[in-house]
Amino acid sequence: RICVITLAEAHPLLQSGKTIKNINYQISANCSRLQNKVSGKSKRGAQFLTELAPLCRISSSDGEEYTIYSCIRGRLIEVNENILSNPALLQEKPSTEGYIAVVLPKFEESKSITQGLLTQKEYEEVLMKRRSSAS
């Protein structure tokens, strides 16, 4: 029931051959995801995220900035600090070492969250529709 947040295969940062300039976990003047301190079995101190909570901002070398959102309600267990010093991990290994964060949804909500996810086939169909409407 733990959720690893990564960039989708279809994300513009992974598609267009862009270079990632930097990653910033500082969401606002008072909120940095790097300040998240989790302890104990009940994950005390973890920041609580909603579906629309920003996790980080990624800047590319062409000046574009992308805000990456949690998309899941739950507690922020950890952020991947390795991508701060090596942003290329996001592009080279997006589904493993290049993850963005780990979120733990509430136990009661975890089943409804997983039931609402798309299968790989459904996801590919959405992408095909998106591509055909764009052209």
CATH code for the domain of 74 = 2.40.50.100
List, for residues 33-69, the tens digit of each pLDDT value. 988 888 887 788 889 999 899 999 999 988 899 999 9
Mean pLDDT score across all residues of the chain: 88
Supply the range of the domain harboring residue 64: 1-132
Comparison of pLDDT for 16 and 87, the residue scoring more: 87
What per-residue confidence (pLDDT) applies to 135?
Answer: 67
Work out whether the CA dihedral 105, 57, 101, 40 comes out positive or negative: negative
List, for residues 106-131, the tens digit of each pLDDT value. 887 878 877 888 888 998 898 888 88
- Report pTM: 0.85
Tally of domains within the chain: 1
